[in-house]
A = this chain, B = another copy of it.
């Protein structure tokens, strides 16, 4: 632990190796531990600290408590040439997700597209990890997952849906890919936690309190309140954010046979689950489209380049510097962090040092300043 509040930076290689060791010591087989570590640290590398290595201890705790099965029998229980339903057997989402995504990609390579609904899983890391894998094979990849309820339906007053993210990626030729990776809630719950830590109000339109009234108090959101969907209220398109969140839940949860809506099991124990399960675990939905099934691949990538350059050339609004392309912020983070390391707050590093001690593994040294 450090005495000040400054983050220290660690190379992503050292954090990946450390994460893999911790997973192995928790009973995860070597290949799976390696995959899970890669998914987790990809999140940190891309600047999405909330979904990365900061979650290692909760994952390990869930393995130790028996809620996550370290050696799952991940099985296709129903399939057609281009679809499958997979039972994750309570495995680590970071292992079940990549396996299911692999099935989607293989089906796409074989017959043009592949779509896989997964039940009996748990948190799978960042949604954006999966379409990034598809990109390498000239596939357009899709990924979505439901998650425990934090968001109210439009016009509602209670948590009924997760932040239910979705991700899709399109490869360019010379330009970097377009990578869409977004929650269907107005903001991630992490922003509420940050406001609590910094003793600040949240923005208008983000959330409601336990009575369903608009609130700017982050504590009121925590204490039985809820986030709003993208678009916030009727006039900014809140019903459309609700549609999107529903879409993710219906494909990931209802179609797969997992839990859905308020029944999705919590990852963090502070979140309580409503009622009896209506399915198995948490659900994901993966897809892959073979680009060659629609277009000459090189010609498509060149058109994506042209699309990217056209959007970048949009005159910016007054006071803004430029129009970004989906994926730019994460790519910038990755460029920087792959060289300068991943910054970990002292509290996160301390938590990981506990995980290291429990596993009997050496926590890596930070990069010298």
Chain A interfacial positions (CB closer than 8 Å to B): 78-85, 111-113, 115, 117, 140, 152-158, 160, 168, 170, 178, 180, 182-184, 186-187, 203-206, 208, 211-213, 230-232, 235-237, 239-244, 246-247, 249-251, 254-257, 260-262, 278-279, 289-295, 300, 303-304, 306-307, 310-311, 314-318, 320, 322-324, 326
- Nearest CB of B to A79, in Å: 7
Q: A111-B80, A156-B315 are in contact. Are A235 and B295 (CB under 8 A)?
A: no
Check A83–B293 contact: CB distance below 8 A. Answer: yes
Check B178–A117 contact: CB distance below 8 A. Answer: no
In the complex, what residue of chain B is closest to A183 when comparing beta carbons?
B240
Please, how many angstroms separate the alpha-carbon atoms of A235 and B205 in the complex?
8
Please, how many angstroms separate the alpha-carbon atoms of A306 and B328 in the complex?
40
Check B250–A157 contact: CB distance below 8 A. Answer: no
Check B237–A187 contact: CB distance below 8 A. Answer: yes
Which residues on the B side are within 8 Å of A251 (C-beta)?
A: 140
Which residues on the B side are within 8 Å of A243 (C-beta)?
A: 180, 182, 326
Check B295–A81 contact: CB distance below 8 A. Answer: no
- Nearest CB of B to A46, in Å: 15
Please, how many angstroms separate the alpha-carbon atoms of A111 and B81 in the complex?
5
- Nearest CB of B to A118, in Å: 10
- Nearest CB of B to A365, in Å: 37
Please, how many angstroms separate the alpha-carbon atoms of A158 and B314 in the complex?
6
- Cβ contact of A236, chosen from B111, B115, B232, cutoff 8 A: B232
Please, how many angstroms separate the alpha-carbon atoms of A279 and B262 in the complex?
45
Please, how many angstroms separate the alpha-carbon atoms of A320 and B80 in the complex?
44
Check A310–B81 contact: CB distance below 8 A. Answer: no
List 28 interface pairs A-B (beta carbons < 8 Å), by A numbering: A81-B82, A83-B112, A83-B290, A84-B293, A84-B294, A111-B111, A115-B293, A117-B294, A140-B251, A152-B317, A153-B323, A154-B323, A155-B320, A155-B323, A160-B310, A160-B311, A180-B246, A182-B243, A203-B235, A211-B318, A212-B317, A213-B318, A230-B237, A231-B231, A239-B324, A239-B326, A257-B295, A261-B310
